[in-house]
Structure 1
Amino acid sequence: MKSPSIALPSELIRLSPGRISNRTIILVALGIYALVSWMILNGADNPPIRFRFDATRLVEASLVLKLHVGGALAAFGIGTALMMGVKGRRLHKRLGYTWVVAMAVTAISSFFLTGLNGNQFSWIHGLSAWALIGLPMGIAAARRKDIARHRKHMTGMFTGGMLVAGLFTFLPGRMMWSIFFAA
């Protein structure tokens, strides 16, 4: 039976029983990001925003933060290549294990970083905990040849862990914002 869909331009939302599409998650995250960014910038009397690259804060950051950013960048790059490439080949398997290690480094290092919620864990740490649970589940599914479940786990972690959580590292006032933008 074909999953029901909502007819929107380019079929932005595709529903299946009990599952929200990754496109929907990304669109909702972008909307929330835009709203929160606007609220932050509006509270600062709408300073002009200019693109610039200044990695000074990252260079001066702690080793844990550098490890976290390095793991996230590696996971994002490898994950993008995996999503766009041919599946099931030897290269996919090797890159997949490398991606799992990069995701694990990113998730584990996040538990040593706070700041979004004062000195306490934030909702982003919940994504890190889920990644540490989901990574072995995704590997196990691939080993059992349950490709649909493997795809679901890994695509969900890429969408939630890399795209959604990554997007919120670029909120005005956070370190990644200050590296790429000047207000």
Structure 2
Amino acid sequence: MASIFFKPKPVRSIAPDWYEKMLAGVAAVLLVIVIIALAKGHADWAQVPRGVWLHLATIMVALMLTPYMLLRPRGTPIHRLLGKVWVVAMTATAAISLFVRYSNPGHFSFIHILSVFVLIMAPRVWLTARSHNLAGHRGTVRGLVTGALIVAGYFTLLETRLLGHWLFG
């Protein structure tokens, strides 16, 4: 009788949807753009502070893992392991960015708001996965990839930023 009144919600597939496929593609393209910018800026490498290099290294780890994590089967041991690496890379990138003020010496910029967002939300990625809250996990990952990788990545390509200067300058 209860089934007449309470229909169970259909289980949403954990397979990647169109949005996650798009995010994976944009992350891959962004990684290629970063590599091109780095190659074009090789003459200036000696002047770049160590913190900027560490920031670039950690974000490149996250960018490399993002397409794999979004497109491959989920819930597998490799997904769980690489997910932990991704969360650490994102958290490290955000924490390091708070000390990187290369384009605005001594001051924070708009992008630093996203760093605080990542520091708050990255633990949620792990906690929602651990508690098997798949909808919460998926939403948090999508939000982080959209905001902290794609949106922040776009702003780093402006000509006033280091990567943008190397890419377009």
The TM-score, its normalising length taken from structure 1, stands at 0.67
Counterparts of 1:138 and 1:115 in 2: how far apart (Å)?
29
- Which of 140, 152, 165 lines up with 1:165 in the alignment? 152
Letter in 1 for 2:55: H
* TM-superposed deviation, 1:55: 2.2
Aligned to 2:115: 128
The offset of 1:102, in angstroms, is 0.8
Contact preservation (8 Å) 1:67, 1:105: no
RMSD: 2.5
Q: Matched residues in 1 for 2:145 and 2:73: separation?
A: 17
Q: Distance in 1 between matches of 2:45 and 2:112?
A: 20
| More divergent stretch after superposition (101-110 vs 115-124) | 115-124
Aligned to 1:77: 64
Secondary structure of the residue that 1:173 maps to in structure 2? coil
Q: Describe the superposition over 1:127-174 as per-residue Cα deviations: whole angstroms up to 9, x where unpaired.
A: 111111111112111111001101111111111111110111010132
Return the match for 1:63 from 38, 46, 50: 50
**Cα distance, 1:104 vs structure 2:** 1.1
**Any idea what SS the aligned residue of 2:140 has?**
helix
Identify the structure with the greater helix proportion.
2
TM-score relative to the length of structure 2: 0.72
Q: How many residues align?
A: 138
Q: From the superposition, tell whether residues 165 and 61 of structure 1 become closer, same or farther in structure 2 (CA, over 3 Å).
A: same
Query: After TM superposition, where is structure 1 displaced by more than 4 Å over at least 4 residues in a row?
Result: 115-118
